[in-house]
Chains A and B, each alone.
Chain A
Amino acid sequence: MKKTLKTASTIRCDVLIIGAGGAGLRCAAEILEKKPGTSVIALTKVPHPQKSHTAAAQGGLAAVDPKDPADKYLYHMFDTWKGSDCMADQNVVRKISEASWEQIIWLENRGMHLSRDNLGRLGKRTFGGHTVNFGEDSAFRAVFEADRTGKGIMDTCWGETMKRGITFMNQTVATELLFKDNQCVGCMVFNLKDGEFVKIISKATVFSSGGSGQVFKVTTNCRQNTGDGLALVLQAGLAVMDPEAVQFHPTGIVGPGILASETLRSVGGILRNKALEPFMEKYAPKMKELAPRDLVARAIETEVREGRGILNPDHQIEHVWIDLRHLPDNIHDEQIPEVSGFFKKYINLDPKTDLCPVRPSNHYHMGGIPTNEFGEVQTADQEIVPGLYAVGECAAASFHGFNRLGTNSILELITMGKFAGERVLAYISDSSRKFPEAKATVTESKISGYLDADGRDNLVKIREALRSTMTEKVGVFRTEAGISEAIEKIRELKARAERTGLSEKSFTMNQELVTRWELDNLLVVSMVIAEGALNRKESRGAHCREDFPERLDAFNGHTLISMPEFGKTKLGSRAVDMSVFEAREEHYEQFGMIARKY
């Protein structure tokens, strides 16, 4: 049964948050704490904020405790800068690092159950790439809540915002940003549960819609991370920054994609191919399994590409093995119980006696909606878009540059969320500012197009073809020929998607309609990732061009890319902020264009 498309109602509010994960709700909490009574609406695509991808973050939150005699902000800033392969913006790195401990206390004081010692002090962990004294020694810098740190943030921010009167609209998606004279004034919303289109007019709009991991075939990301935020911003004619900066973790568990942590290799796990050869000695004769993440990921992909992978018949994914069978029982039981548990639970294998299948897994999108250090969204010409903010994984300020360090992502959520909240408050309280309304121009024709198409094809098959293409051609390895092939394929899949008719034409919880809309977003995001990767003729951080294996100074700048028409991109660039280096204070030389060598 096909319905007519009409807007059921118009809702007005002070602040609209698109995406109710950690970043969005930390921002909302800041606004509601500082100015009680502000009307804040938060949309989320998942059935409830607690189901957000933030809740899946395990490890920890990097934060320098000012009382720590060994650690300093400057060391955290250096690690982040080095890890980013000299592409993080130093003003952002400084601002986040210096605010980090205060934000940990904010969470703890509001009920987050951070792990502690028996004197009541917060426990701290080390993580790869986090050091003291500019790489000299490992830093104990990450506070954590057991193996569910993200859940702790999520529960706390959800509780605080609920306590202070936020309005949640769960299982809804934003379909179009509304603008009046370049000022963002709200968005169109599709409410999946009741199948209604709602217009929300807001004084300020905050994007916190999460990542885009579903672009790739094996991903640690949740099902809803289809890059909707980036697609919406591109649809509005705005730019995205560094879309080609995508992080892969070397060992994802085949099937659910979740991480088989580095610990498996550090306790002596051996990677083996189809012939059971321990192949890492070919790629890193000295370090072998302990080589850095990107090198291990490339070694595994090479094995698979050259036909030495193993095909998992159930998930249709080629993989290599990680062999833990030779490790003594006490290592299995004491040092890797959680990961062993994952293998048992999700693929019914016992690492004590079985080889376990792993493959590099897409993990994080460093690129995103370009903002300044306050989360204010910028145009391709680097002018601020009034009324529009972006924080969290969908945004790029940029704190991570071209490679993110572990434990820096959820730190970014809570700090940038707070900074954006402060800016939003100032913006909506400005009595000289006018807050006009605007009409939607895209949603109706787009959704009607989906409903009118009548070709026989299969959306899930098109989506899986896209994810395979991106994994093979624009994943861990990239070459000009491969990326160009991917771009052609994306165009072809876009054309197929446009013809594909839906078997269910109604609006209420029509999962097929949502899949169709998400597919469009995945196609758009795939296209800008591919175009960004094609243009960046160098290798840097997570972006590896086999045909240009070195980092080149000519590319010391962020990619800005907009797409006025599908497949027709406009490229620009934004200089990397080097204010810490330029300030010429003590140790400034550590913040120059240093080599990323560990």
Chain B
Amino acid sequence: MKQTHNITLKIHRYDPEMNRSWVQAYQLEAGRILRFVDVFRKINEEQDPTLAWNSSCEHGQCGTCSVQVNGKPMLACELLVENAVDYFKTATFEIEPLPVAPVVRDLVINFDKAYERVNLVKPYIIHPAPVPDAGQPYAITSNDQDEFLNATRCINCFCCASACISSHKGFLGPNAMLASIVRMMDPREAEKEERENILYSDKGVYRCHSSRACSFVCPKEIDVAHFIALAKEGRFKPES
């Protein structure tokens, strides 16, 4: 088994002070199970302390280190060097920031801007349904909850929004739709009308072209397109 790989990272860089963009190639010998976040750190340590990149938990729970690798949005903390070589059939990787928000510097995007679309769907219970017994949990069975539980696993890494072919044309994006659909399906939410207005607005689910790119790239393996399809077929509209 090959112990190290001689890889080249072509990183899309941006300097906000000079308003300058360029692609910088870093060549390095990387251990087979280094992850791309480790590779970025290695670049900071050995070649270039100025390269800026984002991460937080570094084990797939927070969705901060998402970047595009050879065009595919993915979490840098989950991509091992040898798997990348194997998957992309090359040792050269083009690394770009996600296209869902303005770049602050290098691979760091302005998450505030990306999240604006999630905030618009109100990712919380707008009007809670009355609790059957005060001081008690709502009586929701595991079967009821299982219907939408997968949608609650979203970590807002914006990989789906990056891959979505409709995202840049007024669509709020797959992850924002998921946040909306979760509350549509959650019996604790009483405010269904406002939710409907958001979900079926001109920025809502009908913008989706059903390419299923969201489900394909989701690092949490959520079938995002399934939930959007439920919304499109009118599952959450009151019977009329």
Chain A interface residues toward B at CB < 8 A: 1, 46-48, 50-53, 55-56, 102, 104-105, 108-111, 113-123, 146, 148, 151-152, 155-156, 158-160, 162-163, 170-171, 193, 222-224, 255-258, 313-315, 342, 345-348, 458-461, 464, 502-504, 506, 508-512, 515
How many Å lie between the Cα of A163 and that of B126 in the bound state? 8
B105 touches A509 (CB 8 A): yes
Chain A residue, CB-CB nearest to B41: A460
Q: How far is the CB of A414 from chain B (nearest CB, A)?
A: 15
| Pairwise interchain contact A48-B111, C-beta atoms closer than 8 A | yes
Taking CB atoms, residues of chain A closer than 8 Å to B233 are: none
**Of the residues A47, A222, A314, A461, contact of B58 by C-beta under 8 Å:** A222
Let me know if A120 and B140 touch, CB within 8 A.
yes
Given A255-B35, A348-B82: A458 and B45 within 8 A (CB)?
yes
> Given that A46-B64, A151-B61, A503-B50 are contacting pairs, would A51 and B38 also be in contact in the complex, using a CB cutoff of 8 Å?
no
Task: Indicate whether B153 reaches chain A with its CB closer than 8 angstroms.
Answer: yes
With contacts A116-B142, A347-B33, A508-B17 known, is A55 near B122, CB below 8 A? no
B108 at the interface (CB under 8 A from A): yes
Interface of chain A, main secondary structure: loop
On whether the beta carbons of A51 and B136 are closer than 8 Å, the reply is no
- The answer, yes or no, to whether B68 is at the interface (CB within 8 Å) is no
Residue in A55, A110, A460, A508 whose CB lies within 8 Å of B45: A460
Q: A122-B137, A170-B111 are in contact. Are A51 and B49 (CB under 8 A)?
A: no
Q: Mark B114-145, 1 if CB is under 8 A from A, else 0.
A: 01000100111110100100011111111101
Tell me which residues across on chain B come within 8 A of A314, comparing CB atoms: 30-34, 38
Summarize B's interface: helix, strand, loop or mixed: loop
Specify which chain A residues have a CB less than 8 angstroms from the CB of B17 in the assembled complex. 1, 506, 508
Q: Are B45 and A151 in contact (CB under 8 A)?
A: no
On whether the beta carbons of A50 and B49 are closer than 8 Å, the reply is: no
CB of A171 to closest CB in B, whole Å:
8
- Say yes or no: B35 contacts A256, CB within 8 Å: yes
Residue numbers in B under 8 Å from A155 (CB-CB) = 123, 152
Q: Does B186 sit at the interface, judged by CB under 8 A?
A: yes
B142 near A223 with CB under 8 A, answer: no
Subset of 7 A-B contacts with CB under 8 Å: A55-B61, A56-B61, A224-B56, A315-B31, A508-B16, A510-B52, A511-B105
B7 at the interface (CB under 8 A from A): no
Q: For residue A152, which residues in chain B have a CB less than 8 angstroms away from its CB?
A: 152
List 8 additional contacts besides A56-B57, A509-B104; criterion CB under 8 Å: A47-B54, A50-B155, A111-B125, A114-B137, A155-B123, A256-B59, A348-B80, A510-B50
- Please tell me if B77 contacts chain A, counting CB pairs below 8 Å: yes
Closest to A313 in B: B31
Q: Are A163 and B124 in contact (CB under 8 A)?
A: yes
Contacts of B143 in A (CB 8 A): 118
CB distance A116 to B140 under 8 Å? yes
Interface string of B31-74 (1 = CB under 8 A from A): 11111001001001100011111111111111110000000000
Query: Contacts A193-B110, A256-B77, A508-B105; is A53 near B56 (CB within 8 Å)?
Result: yes
Size of B's binding interface in residues, CB under 8 A: 71
Find B38's partner among A117, A118, A315 (CB 8 Å cutoff). Answer: A315
- B23 CB within 8 Å of chain A: no
What is the total of A-B residue contacts with beta carbons within 8 Å?
195
The answer on a CB contact under 8 Å between A148 and B153 is yes
> Smallest Cβ distance from B196 to chain A, in angstroms?
18
B32 contact set on A, CB distance < 8 A: 314, 348
Give CA–CA (A554, B238) in the complex, Å.
70
Contact A110 B125 (CB under 8 A): yes
Enumerate chain A residues within 8 angstroms of B41, measured Cβ to Cβ.
460
Checking A111, A148, A257, A509 against B186 with a beta-carbon cut-off of 8 angstroms, the contacting residue is A111
Instruction: Assess whether A346 is in contact with B50, with CB atoms less than 8 Å apart.
Output: no
A146: chain B residues at CB < 8 Å are: 149
Q: Is the CB of A48 within 8 A of B115?
A: yes
Chain B residues closer than 8 Å to A515, beta-carbon distance: 44, 49
In the complex, chain A residues whose CB is within 8 Å of the CB of B188: 109, 111
Q: Kindly list chain A residues whose C-beta atoms are within 8 Å of the C-beta of B137.
A: 104-105, 108-109, 114, 116, 120-122
Cα separation A256 to B142 with both chains bound (whole Å): 33
Tell me, yes or no, whether B83 is within 8 Å of chain A by CB. yes
Which 7 A-B residue pairs are closest in the complex by CB-CB distance?
A: A314-B31, A159-B124, A47-B111, A120-B139, A509-B105, A460-B45, A504-B50
Bitwise interface map of B from 3 to 18 toward A, beta carbon under 8 Å scored 1, else 0: 1100000000000111
Task: Please state if B61 and A148 are interface contacts (CB–CB under 8 Å).
Answer: yes
- Asked if A258 meets B135 with Cβ closer than 8 Å, knowing A111-B188, A119-B141, A170-B112, the reply is no
- How far is B139's CA from A509's CA once the two chains are assembled, in angstroms? 47
Give every chain B residue within 8 A of A123 (Cβ-Cβ).
Answer: 142
- Docked-complex contact B141 and A118, CB < 8 angstroms: yes
Residues 142-163 of chain B: 1 if any A CB is under 8 Å from the residue's CB, otherwise 0? 1101000100110110000000
- Determine the chain A residues whose CB is within 8 A of the CB of B50 once the complex forms: 503-504, 510-512
Which of B56, B122, B189 contacts A51 (CB under 8 A)?
B56
Q: How far is the CA of A46 from the CA of B115 in the complex (A)?
A: 14
Q: Which chain A residue has the least Cβ–Cβ distance from B43?
A: A460
Q: Does B94 contact A (CB under 8 A)?
A: no
CB atoms of A108 and B16 under 8 A apart = no
- Whether B223 sits at the interface, judged by CB under 8 Å, is no
Min CB–CB distance B114 → chain A (angstroms): 9
Query: In the complex the two chains form, is A512's CB within 8 Å of B49's CB?
Result: yes
A509 engages B52 (CB within 8 Å):
yes
User: Which residues 151-191 in B have Cβ within 8 Å of A in the complex?
Assistant: 152-153, 155-156, 183, 186, 188-189
Select from chain B the residue with minimum beta-carbon distance to A193: B104
Which residues of the partner chain A approach B38 to less than 8 Å between Cβ atoms?
255, 314-315
B110, A460: Cβ atoms under 8 Å? no
| Pick from B53, B83, B112, B123: contact of A348, CB under 8 Å | B83
Chain B residues, CB < 8 A from A348: 32-33, 80, 82-83
Chain B residue at minimal CB-CB distance from A221: B57
Contact between A55 and B62 (Cβ–Cβ < 8 Å)? yes
Return the chain B residue nearest A49 by Cβ. Answer: B115
Q: A99 to B53, alpha carbons, bound, how many Å? A: 41
Q: How far is the CB of A508 from chain B (nearest CB, A)?
A: 5
Known: A47-B111, A50-B155, A348-B33. A109 touches B128 (CB 8 A): yes
